[in-house]
Structure 1
Amino acid sequence: MPAANKKAQVVTRPLALTLLVLVILLWGVNWPVMKEVVGHMPPISFVASRLLLGAVSLLIFTAALRQLRLPAKADIPVILSVGVLQMGLFMLLVTIAVQYVPAGRAGILAYTTPLWVVPLALIFLKERVGWAKAGGLLVGLAGVAVLFNPAAFDWTQRPVLLGNGLLMLAALIWAFNIVHVRRHRWVGTPLQLAPWQMMLAALMATIAALGTEDLSQIDWSGQLVVLLIYNGPIATAFCFWAMVTVNRALPAITTSLSVLGVPVVGLVSSALWLHEPLTLTNLVGLGLIGGGLILVALSEKRG
């Protein structure tokens, strides 16, 4: 592996943490945005649109930086992993599910990823879990458990079961991707590979949309265009590149725990935008997740 390319592969810890904070904010706000968009266009068509916009944005950006190049054969597995699992299936599942589940709750279930990442990282990555990080895991997951509260919805409603099941499946899929990204030996940088990953995901979503949905049902408006622009270049292109970069620079367990901040932002923004109720249960869960994030941050600072 060329020395220059090896040096460019992993960003510094402070930059990785900065990118992680930006992703938490942008993805958190995007939950009520997605809920708004699926009221104006079919869900799979929405996923295809945001991925196509994201892919075009990445192609233009990488070409302007002279970073656009064909991927190495050794990077094909991570292109398939990120493109199919994280960008493709994860987005399709959560966008379909958000039709049946409140945006704030959907964000919580989709980010139960640490439940799956911790055992996978211990087995495949041999990562160590210190007392602070273990405490952060327990406190953060306690917050998720409080917010999840299976008694809060009607289990006899099939759409409800479908939505919640799809969100849990999405969390499992993302967990496998986090571990694979961390384990993969990269040749190209995340920026060089991101356009190919997103084009693969866009192709999947476009084929699915054309085969299953009626595009004439799209209710075009100025608001919809603005929301799609936010979703394409920002919440899709930038955030997915940033998340892959963070996955490679920070331990898998740390990353999966930290993104629990996304449902926190999602709950608050959904309450402000969509007027979803922010109950006492929600506030207790938010406090526990916040405490877990503080413990993880302290363990990273000490490390």
Structure 2
Amino acid sequence: MKHSRWTGLIYLLVTATGWALNWPAMKVLLREWPPLFSRGVAGVTASVLLGVVAVCVGERPRVPREYVPRLLLAACTNVFAWMGFSTLSMKWLSVSEGALLVYTMPIWAMLLAWPVLSRRPSTVEFLALLLGLAGVVVLLGGRGVAFDAGKIAGIAFALLAAVLFALGTVIARTPIPVPPISLVAWQVGLGCAPMIVAGLLIEHPELASLHADGWAVLIYMTLVPMGVCYLAWFATLRHLPPQIASIGMLLVPIMGIVAAALVLGEPLGWKEAAAMALTLSGVALALRRKAPQTEPE
């Protein structure tokens, strides 16, 4: 048992590190390619690779017809909204702002469960909401409250990513009966393909503008966050209870913010530290009731 737990912690650290480094990586890629198109290309490529892995390990990727609508809804909330809107928010927000805003997802899931599932939050969970909101206020209010249009758009997209992923978590009360790797491959592929279409129609990317550093980041996003990390996440769940694993995922925004400070020179002072402490304390309290079935990147 002890060996299994240590194995799970190693897989958890691999998952958290890969997903955390993806936050500053996205900022680098956005210098050369627009957000929806770049995320879509990485996601569709990763879904094909995950599909090959699923077949190689003996999974049957077939989705029962009656579960197709639920799969499409999951792809919309868990991938298109989560990955697409969070990446889009990075055009206007720093990594610390974007990461903390989107990782408030468990707090919104707690609130949405009230009207959707008639599950009234407890006193502790209301405290989680207050802590989370206090962290956001500290983070966004450190330089005053006068935001330009771009800043407001970034905040809106980050919160939309969190709220829609939370809604998908709340309404998905029973799992889709598809093997785990195949399920991720389907969701990522179906969720990211529309990003490519939207990117071509709206963003008009210049394909030749991607340089060596951009290619390196694109390859990293494809192979590590959406490939290796998802495989490591499922391995984590085989060795650790889901609630412990989910709370451990709070390492992702912390590591991502520190990495952005080291790599991109983004600010990391008392304001960011206080916001992390408040927001993630609230998220940890919100996760106490029930861990999510899947973990966002």
User: Do the structures match in fold with TM over 0.5?
Assistant: yes
Measure the CA separation in 2 of the matches of 1:150 and 1:255: 31
Which segments of 5 or more consecutive residues in structure 1 lack a partner in the other structure?
1-11
CA apart distance, 1:48: 1.4
Contact persistence 1:78–1:184 (CA under 8 A): no
Q: Which runs of structure 2 are paired with 1:143-222 in the superposition (5 Å)?
A: 144-145=135-136, 147-152=138-143, 155-181=146-172, 183-216=173-206, 218-222=208-212
The alignment yields a C-alpha RMSD, in angstroms, of: 3.9
Stretch of structure 1 that moved more, 225-234 or 271-280 = 225-234
- Aligned equivalent of 1:57, options 49, 53, 56: 49
**Match of 1:60, as an amino acid?**
V
The corresponding residue for 1:44 is 36
**Match of 2:85, as an amino acid?**
L
CA apart distance, 1:37: 0.4
Measure the CA separation in 2 of the matches of 1:122 and 1:115: 12
* Shift in alpha-carbon separation, 1:294–1:72, aligned structure 2, 3 A: closer
Stretch of structure 1 that moved more, 254-263 or 75-84 = 254-263
The corresponding residue for 2:219 is 229
Pairing 1:283–2:276 present: no
Measure the CA separation in 2 of the matches of 1:189 and 1:155: 48
CA apart distance, 1:217: 5.5
Contact persistence 1:113–1:171 (CA under 8 A): yes
Stretch of structure 1 that moved more, 286-295 or 61-70 = 286-295
The corresponding residue for 2:294 is none
- Aligned equivalent of 2:71, options 65, 79, 84: 79
Which segments of 5 or more consecutive residues in structure 2 lack a partner in the other structure?
291-297
Say which SS state the counterpart of residue 187 (structure 1) adopts.
Answer: coil
- Aligned equivalent of 1:97, options 85, 89, 97: 89
The corresponding residue for 2:293 is none
Say which SS state the counterpart of residue 47 (structure 2) adopts.
Answer: helix
The corresponding residue for 1:6 is none
CA apart distance, 1:154: 5.5
Identity of aligned residues (%): 23
Measure the CA separation in 2 of the matches of 1:44 and 1:149: 25
**Match of 2:269, as an amino acid?**
T
CA apart distance, 1:125: 5.7
Say which SS state the counterpart of residue 152 (structure 1) adopts.
Answer: coil
